[in-house]
A and B are shown apart, each in its own frame.
Chain A
């Protein structure tokens, strides 16, 4: 699969474009990880994953235990992720609130009043998990609401669904599990801290995930400035009977941690357009997802907490903390010493792909990997936008090998067919083009807009197509009904006519017989 150099190391490949950015990670790695106290009130959104919101299964006034199910899978097809109570307490309300989502939309949230006792719902790990059947391990990932913690929050169960059945590899089989620890965005350090302090958890999670999908190999990709991480991973305990994970240092070029870019770096192959790494026999999971999978499988603990980096020049004492899902963001800022006087903006995520948060009362969700408070110095005054001069710097930087300058012209002209032909759906919205544009054009925002419109058009066409099919089916049904009715009518008419004919025939026969009898009588 991947080529190796004479020393046995994996030969790395270079993806197109990308940027070398200043890391700014160490500032959040100065203290060991600490677990924040549970707040009095938690806001648990029912949509914390990619897909439709979970279906609420609790009622206001109901008391819940830590780890108890709050939201179940929304549909029978099993897509989506469950949501669990982060602590014990009482459900105060189920209401529509801002839910710390990229789109800024409000959605259904379960508000829990904590009772401070943090009592745990009965939970049991899978006994002898290292020898359990893969399907059992995968089922546990679904029960515990594990999602990808790298930022995309794709339900992990959906990602590993149907990989192996009864120990036999199927069509969607996976030979290599890649753990993504290449946290490429500046400032974010939650995966780095996880691997430094809890490398055992990561390795155990990796082995369990490997067994769950039937992969033969495990690669852990980390960025080459992460020396201490490498040491920690090498010193960590390897689970008994495990296939040792191979640690690969990849160059620190943004967006190295993008799934597609990482696959290209490690294998030299590209994930097909519209496909997933599974098409190449690969499964890419974030390292934090592996750790969460370990807790789910060994301890039966649902995903109710995550590691969050609180950093930036806008907080006094940056650090990385473990917070329960549903904790208001303000609590994390407090834990990091509070805002500085010149704080200007609070961003969820990193400086490249993060989005500004309007209100620090919004909760930490499964996707919250970093809270970045920017000071007035960091927030440059937005530069006036100039016309595109087609310098091509954006095309040089684009890791998806797109031509942002051409895409921009078509997007501005709302020529969606052309933007699609130029590959707008391959855009990963990494923001490299924005960063290098000398005319300060918000290119990534334009492409986000274009992608939304292209998808909306596809949806509209699908709806119209469904309506047309229903219409045609109805027309056909009506026509059939009409034909059947006409046929019935014709048949009845025929029958009547036949009856009349027969009567006539009988009458005629009778008459003939009578005539015969009469003439015989007269004869005889």
Chain B
């Protein structure tokens, strides 16, 4: 699992470069909560602490969760999410190896549904914002819940704003064409200013995992391949009402999910054919939610829904035993 953390480093660095050091504070907060709760639960379940804390599974859960939330979300968001992720989704189901759902996504979905306002306060990337909070203002915002703006700024609008996926969804729902929506600065050239670079960095980390054979190629290939295969024809046929594949990949958490979240072995499928189906399902559900659902991005829901389907997929894709 430590290799997964190594692979996340480029993504974190790029994220911090564009959105300020708030993410680092969130990572430390989430890790602290996760490790504390993990230790508590291990103690309660009379399990040895050291091997389970040093396998980094709780840390990976915490970091993946922190990457999903707005950098300045208040501290108790992490606390609630880790409570659900570690205590309920993981240990109440039997601990490491027995959880049905991806703990990071359970934590994220719980806070996404419970605190929608806090979860949509995204910072603007550095090149679009008048000011990006440094370490101390970020820390203050996370701990107190309110951001101290420099006097020169007009208001919060200069710092935070809707993400590309938000705009796209609202615009399409309002009947605008993609070209008109994409005039907004937040889209940048690739489809999401700043985020495109973060996605690229995640992709680099994912390739590292593939190279080290920590993950197999099946889930990421199926997820990303399905997204492209489904969005490319629609976009070619009717570019006015459908976003481009690049737009879909650059904005939101698809790349992160494809390499780091949907590849979680415990809650995913174990056979290679099953993994292909799993990735396909994640991609389809994500796109459906992005297009018709109530949320701008559907990755977390897609992963959780496919988690429930994993045992069935495993049963169907059981390989033929030698000689049978």
Contact = CB atoms under 8 A, between A and B. Distances in A.
Say if the two chains contact directly (CB < 8 Å): yes
Interface of A: 16, 260, 264, 270-275, 384, 386-392, 395-396, 399-403, 405-406, 422-423, 426, 439
B320 interface: yes
Contacts of B320: 401
Given A387-B98, A389-B96, A260 B55 contact: no
A399 B323 CA distance: 11
A401 B270 contact: no
Contact of A392 (B95, B97, B271, B321): B271
Interface in B152-190: none
13 contacts: A16-B322, A272-B323, A386-B96, A386-B97, A387-B96, A387-B98, A388-B97, A389-B97, A389-B266, A392-B265, A392-B270, A401-B322, A405-B270
B318 interface: yes
A390 B97 contact: yes
B322 A400 contact: yes
A426 B323 CA distance: 8
Q: Is the interface of A mostly helix, strand, loop or mixed?
A: loop
B323 A260 contact: yes
Contacts of B216: 392, 396
Given A386-B96, A387-B97, A392-B271, A402 B323 contact: no
B322 A395 contact: no
Given A387-B96, A392-B271, A395-B271, A426 B265 contact: no
Contacts of A426: 321-324
A16 to B, nearest CB: 7
Contacts of A390: 97, 265-266, 268, 270
B129 to A, nearest CB: 41
Interface string B299-324: 00000000000000010001111111
Given A272-B323, A395-B270, A426-B323, A389 B318 contact: no
A389 B319 CA distance: 19
A215 to B, nearest CB: 22
A403 B319 contact: yes
A273 B321 contact: yes
A368 B320 CA distance: 34
Contacts of B321: 273, 400-402, 422-423, 426
B211 to A, nearest CB: 16
Contacts of B270: 390-392, 395, 403, 405-406
B116 interface: no
Contacts, number: 74
Contacts of B97: 386-390, 439
B294 interface: no
B150 interface: no
Contacts of A403: 270-271, 318-319
A390 to B, nearest CB: 5
Interface in B90-106: 95-98
Contact of A270 (B96, B266, B272, B322): B322
A275 B322 CA distance: 11
A55 to B, nearest CB: 35
A422 B319 CA distance: 10
Nearest to B214: A391
A287 B219 CA distance: 45
A470 B33 CA distance: 68
Contacts of A396: 216, 272
A272 B319 CA distance: 16
Contact of A386 (B51, B314, B318, B319): B51
Nearest to B97: A387
Contacts of A392: 216, 265, 270-272
Nearest to A272: B323
Contacts of B98: 387
Contacts of A264: 322
Contact of B322 (A389, A399, A405): A399
B295 to A, nearest CB: 29
Residue among B97, B318, B323, B324 with most chain A CB within 10 A: B323
Contacts of B51: 384, 386
| Top 3 A-B pairs, shortest CB-CB distance | A387-B97, A423-B321, A273-B323
A127 B96 CA distance: 69
A260 B322 CA distance: 9
Highest count of chain A CB atoms <10 Å: which of B95, B268, B322:
B322
Interface string B44-88: 000000010001000000000000000000000000000000000
A391 B97 CA distance: 10
A271 B323 contact: yes
Nearest to B51: A384
A114 B216 CA distance: 61
Contact of B95 (A271, A387, A405, A406): A387
A260 B320 CA distance: 15
A399 B321 CA distance: 10
A212 to B, nearest CB: 26
A273 B324 contact: yes
A439 B52 CA distance: 11
A114 B272 CA distance: 60
B265 to A, nearest CB: 4
Nearest to B275: A392
Nearest to B98: A387
Indicate the member of B96, B268, B270, B314 with the most A CB atoms within 10 Å.
Answer: B270
Contacts of B265: 389-392
A406 B310 CA distance: 13
Contacts of B95: 387
Interface in B257-296: 265-266, 268, 270-272
Given A384-B51, A401-B319, A403-B271, 12 more contacts: A260-B323, A273-B324, A275-B323, A386-B51, A386-B96, A390-B97, A390-B265, A390-B270, A395-B270, A399-B322, A402-B321, A402-B322
A270 B323 contact: yes
Contacts of A271: 322-323
Contacts of A402: 321-322
Given A395-B270, A395-B271, A405-B270, A386 B322 contact: no
Interface in B6-63: 51, 55
Contacts of B96: 386-387, 389
B88 to A, nearest CB: 18
A275 B324 CA distance: 10
Nearest to A274: B323
Nearest to B57: A389
Nearest to A279: B323
A426 B318 CA distance: 15
Nearest to B48: A384
Nearest to B318: A403
A284 to B, nearest CB: 14
Contacts of B322: 16, 260, 264, 270-271, 273, 399-402, 423, 426
Nearest to A423: B321
Contact of A395 (B55, B268, B319): B319
B324 A423 contact: yes
A74 to B, nearest CB: 30
Query: Which of A16, A386, A400, A422 has the most chain B CB atoms inside 10 A of its CB?
Result: A386
A386 B271 contact: no
Contacts of B314: 406
